[in-house]
Amino acid sequence: MSTGTLPFQDTHPIALKVRKAELEAAHKNFRWHVYADGLPQTVDADSHHNLPDEVQFSYTKCIEFFSTAFLELHILGLHRYSASKKQWRSLSKLEKIMSKSFSPTYEYVQKHWKEDKFFGYQFLNGLNPMMIQRCSKLLKNFPVTENMVKGSLRHGSLEKEMKKGNIFLCDYKMLDGLVGNVVHGRQQYLTAPLVLLYCNPQGKMLPIAIQLGQTPGPENPIFLPTDSKYDWLLAKIFVRAAEFSVHESDIHLLRTHLLAEVFTMATLRNLPSIHPLFKLLFPHIRYTLHINLLARNQLISKTGAITTYSGMGGTALRKLLRRATSSLTYSSLCLPENISERGLEDVPNCYYRDDGMKLWNIIHQHVKGILTHYYKSDDNVQRDTELQEWIRDIFVCGFLGNDSTGIPKSFDTVEDLIKFVTMVIFTGSAQHASVNNGQFDFGGWMPNYPSALRKPPPKKKGKTTEDTIMETLPDKGTTVHVMAVLKLLSNASVDHEDLEKLSAHIEKRNAKLELPYIFLNPKNVDNSIAI
């Protein structure tokens, strides 16, 4: 691979001509497209077949995706339920049918999903660790009283526990007013819950109050752990359904997939392959356009699986994505700032924060080492016309020219550039892994992550039974189709599995050799020349 050069360092006429020709071709091959008003722009292509070869999946990876998507229901052994519109008879019956051992995490979720401590744990370390924030003052539209929660706090008052920093809030206001989808000919219901949580002296995050709508009133009661077990369980199920909608649309689709597509398009259009930033980013963006086109065509199109089998399909999905896009901020995409803004710096047992910060710092050091080699001063950054076009494309086409996002329009310093590139790589790698890879583990057991609810939220306490819950949960066909999608999205890439198999094969062979050959064991091969 040739050494990277910045545009003002290329002074030879032929080099400049090649650089310009490459970008002109890129502008023809990768055109921006307005996917929907108010959303980040996407690549102008109807299918991955329209993409240049260098950004398409390898043949094996492509075959794997399509074959897995087609066979997943059969692999799960649930294809006999795929057309059923009937409800599940009971939770115990559902447990027997879904008793297959998928993974230790899946088994744990199935066993503990009803428990308050696991419900709270998922806000820190589950599929969506992005909603919870420290609460120092109660919202006016969430009128929780001291009397309501005294049984949960035991030795302290709500006011004192808030001052100590032990009270937390999850607010799903972005779902407020959205009308649910119609699934199997039946109306589905979306709610916009508010959840109050208490981090107890043992470091457990426990729910202490749930309101299922944003407007308080007699027909929107505040549910408590002291209510009947089915009242409290149904309230938590409605929260978990809200989690499905917000996680899949905002946290997963928008904040990783669609933003990664913006970064990919800007890179391919504005940075020639000789540019050092192109060389740094390309391994992290190679498959983004391909997988996103598959997602738009197979998951969120008019006939896609998410559109068909979730409560937030169709119009609600577009509205939710627009709301989420309008609330995007640069700081929320930068893990150190995001953790600080949400007051999670010292919350116990927050493994997403702990592991994520380590990865952020590793990526930051890697990016800093490379970029400071090429950008010797802030002046070098300011003079890099290709780099400035890159960030301008991201600001305009990705963040819609919205100054309130805090996304830079240009770069003035090396430090600013390092931070932004760290965020770009973290978003498409570590952050995506954190919100994607556990989808089946945490969501395969449907009651913990229902995609759609068939009854509106209860208006009164004391009337919920197990039958009410079964009538509310998704029907059989919806359940198994969503399970298949989550399993597909959680599967490891065949490209990575091949490396793991090769490593195991080499180690088995080396055990028999007098002088093992270790140099091409994937475990010993760095991502780049590092020494």
Please tell me the predicted confidence (pLDDT) of residue 530.
21
Please tell me the predicted confidence (pLDDT) of residue 109.
93
Confidence of residue 77 (pLDDT cuts 50, 70, 90): confident
Residue 105 contacts residue 438 (beta carbons within 8 Å): yes
Please tell me the predicted confidence (pLDDT) of residue 528.
24
Q: Beta-carbon neighbour count of residue 468 at 10 Å? A: 15
Chain segment 306-346, per-residue pLDDT in tens: 888 999 887 899 999 999 999 999 999 999 999 999 999 99
Per-residue pLDDT for 519 more than 60?
A: no
Tokens 């109660």, residue located: 138
Confidence of residue 69 (pLDDT cuts 50, 70, 90): low
Residue 212 contacts residue 235 (beta carbons within 8 Å): yes
Please tell me the predicted confidence (pLDDT) of residue 520.
34
| DSSP class of 221 | P
- For residue 130, CA distances in Å to 328, 340, 438 come to 13, 12, 15
Residue 240 contacts residue 190 (beta carbons within 8 Å): no
The mean-pLDDT minimum among 6-20, 176-190, 382-396 falls in 6-20
For range 162-169, the mean pLDDT: 97
Chain segment 81-119, per-residue pLDDT in tens: 888 999 999 999 898 888 777 888 899 999 999 999 999
Work out the burial of residue 174: count CB atoms within 10 Å of its CB; fewer than 13 is exposed, 13-18 middle, 19 or more buried: buried
265 contact partners, CB below 8 Å, separation of at least 6? 30, 32, 41, 42, 43, 289, 393, 397
Per-residue pLDDT for 516 more than 60?
A: no
Q: Rounded CA gap, 47 and 62, in Å?
A: 13
Q: Could you give phi then psi for residue 167, rounded to 5 degrees?
A: -110, 135
Q: What is the 3-state secondary structure (H, E, C) of 344-390?
A: CCCCCCCHHHHHHHHHHHHHHHHHHHHHHHHCCCHHHHHHCHHHHHH
Residue 302 contacts residue 52 (beta carbons within 8 Å): no
Confidence of residue 50 (pLDDT cuts 50, 70, 90): confident
Please tell me the predicted confidence (pLDDT) of residue 155.
77
Q: Beta-carbon neighbour count of residue 485 at 10 Å? A: 26
Per-residue pLDDT for 497 more than 90?
A: no
Give the mean pLDDT of the chain: 89
Please tell me the predicted confidence (pLDDT) of residue 503.
59
Tokens 């398009």, residue located: 265
Closest CA to 196 of 113, 115, 123: 123
The mean-pLDDT minimum among 53-67, 313-327, 468-482 falls in 53-67
Q: Rounded CA gap, 209 and 323, in Å?
A: 26
Q: Beta-carbon neighbour count of residue 305 at 10 Å? A: 20
- Regarding pTM above 0.75, the answer is yes
For range 409-415, the mean pLDDT: 98
How large a percentage of the chain has pLDDT more than 90?
A: 71
The gap from C-alpha 394 to its chain's centroid, in whole angstroms, comes to 20
Please tell me the predicted confidence (pLDDT) of residue 102.
81
Chain segment 258-308, per-residue pLDDT in tens: 999 999 999 999 999 999 999 999 999 988 999 899 888 888 888 888 888
Per-residue pLDDT for 524 more than 60?
A: no
The two tokens of residue 421 are: 């590139």
70 contact partners, CB below 8 Å, separation of at least 6? none
- Domain range list for the chain: 7-130+244-491
Please tell me the predicted confidence (pLDDT) of residue 499.
43
Q: Which CATH number fits domain 7-130+244-491: 1.10.8.10, 1.20.245.10, 3.40.605.10, 1.10.10.60?
A: 1.20.245.10
Closest CA to 131 of 331, 321, 332: 332
Please tell me the predicted confidence (pLDDT) of residue 88.
95
Helix pair angle (116-125, 229-246), 10° resolution:
10
Chain segment 135-162, per-residue pLDDT in tens: 999 999 999 999 999 999 977 899 999 9
The mean-pLDDT minimum among 205-209, 477-481, 510-514 falls in 510-514
